[in-house]
Amino acid sequence: MMDRKARIAVLVSGGGTNLQAILDAEKSGVLHSGKVTLVISNKRDAFALTRAQNAGVATAVIGKKECGGQEGMEKEMIRTLEEYRIDLIVLAGFLSILSADFTRKYDHRIINVHPSLIPSFCGAGFYGLKVHEAALAKGVKVTGATVHFVNEIPDGGEIIAQKAVTVEAGDTPETLQRRVMEQAEWIILPASAESVCAEIMSRKE
């Protein structure tokens, strides 16, 4: 029998708030063409693993240290992704750059959410709070989030969705980070996962 839903793996490194947004979207029906079947963390103590377990999703810890470096880590990841017959990989706060070989293998099948309106405040070195610190230092009035396909260039793949968020007077990197998550990331990441899953499934028919 053919799977009726695309099988999603979410790659995480930390708390897993974006993972939670995807799991919630699955529950509410926003995400109905795909199903989270695997969560991989490169950090053993990531709270995202607990979120996955609470949702009954299989988990794996695959880090550079355990695998003797980047190449070993990616080899083990590919083996695990194939074992679970994964169709789409979602990077949700995954703090490890993937090699060109890896991204080519999964061309147009890896998506990432970045906490700015690309091409602003993106690329190597821009992650987490650093993005919001840079936006505030520049004095921008509008920021937001971008979901894009992943290629070998950090934040360089084609854009799937963007949503703008207003910068408010008195914002700190932390308050801005929270607002960008709530008003942009948690909305466009599940919606983008849905549109890419629907596309993957239409090609399978």
Q: Which of 32, 108, 114, 132 is catalytic?
A: 114
d(CA 73, CA 179): 33
Full 3-state SS string of 63-132:
CHHHHCCHHHHHHHHHHHHHHCCCCEEEECCCCCCCCHHHHHHCCCCEEEEECCCCCCCCCCCCCCHHHH
Instruction: Answer yes or no: are the C-beta atoms of 76 and 65 closer than 8 Å.
Output: no
Which residues are 148's β-sheet partners? 112, 159
Angle at which helix 186-204 crosses helix 17-28, to 10 degrees, equals 60
Q: 35: buried, middle or exposed (CB in 10 Å: 19+, 13-18, 0-12)?
A: middle
> Is 32 one of the annotated active-site residues of the chain?
no
Provide the 8-state DSSP code for 155.
Answer: T
Q: What is the C-alpha separation between 140 and 165, in angstroms, rounded?
A: 11
Q: How far apart are CA 41 and CA 175, in angstroms?
A: 26
Which residues are designated catalytic?
114
